[in-house]
Structure 1
Amino acid sequence: MPKYILFGDYCENALEKRTPYRQDHLEGLKQQKETGILVTIGPTKDNTKVFGIYDAENAEQVTELIENDPYWKNGIWTDYEIKEWIQAF
């Protein structure tokens, strides 16, 4: 199955603004991890970008997961890009 990477942006003051949505966000990511579609995801140390790796059938599947995430729906993630990734090692 192909792998896809997510590069995205957080809104300003994301640490404060994410609070009401954080638990639902984490539960969704946990479910994705348990099904094997999510390899890893997390913010940059300065909390301005998000990076993730997905093991998915296609980019549309990753798009659906991102756009159904509480962080996207509530403006915590403000922009994203998905690219198919070739894992060399």
Structure 2
Amino acid sequence: MSQQAPKNYYFVIVKDKTDPDCLSRRLAVREQHLNDLRIRKEKSYLQVATAMVDKDGKMCGSVALYNVDSEQQAREFAESDAYYKNGVWDIDTLVIQQVNHSKL
């Protein structure tokens, strides 16, 4: 990763898997997930992150806005996340979209 300040913003959007045990897996690794996000925030890579919720208020995915050098770096952050590694996220739903940072 570059030591210079990144200049590209990317939304990372991914839904959770829909099996009955997914919420249990999510909660089991939530602290590790949040700790990783705190570290990325401290290093100024992460701008904001939140859980997506369904119409009943149940967590069903995640959204993050990263300030990174490339789409590949955003993907690497997603793939190194505890939710990815522990089968919470349905990686087939992963969307990484560059954002026009001049409008932020």
The two structures have a TM-score, normalised by structure 2, of 0.77
Query: Partner of 2:100 in structure 1?
Result: 86
Q: Give how far 1:51 is off.
A: 1.2
Q: Residue type of the partner of 1:21?
A: V
Question: Which structure is larger by alpha-carbon Rg, 1 or 2?
Answer: 2
Question: Does residue 40 of structure 1 match 2:54?
Answer: no
Q: Answer yes or no: is 1:26 the counterpart of 2:34.
A: yes
Give the percent of matched residue pairs that are identical in Structure 1 and Structure 2: 25
- How far did 1:19 drift? 2.3
Does 1:59 pair with 2:59?
A: no
Unaligned runs of 5+ in 2: 1-6
1:26 counterpart SS class: helix
What's the offset of the Cα at 1:24?
A: 1.1
Gaps of 5+ in 1: none
- Give, as a single letter, the amino acid of the residue that structure 2 aligns with 1:43: A
Number of residue pairs matched by the alignment: 89
Partner of 1:9: 15
Aligned residues: CA RMSD? 1.4
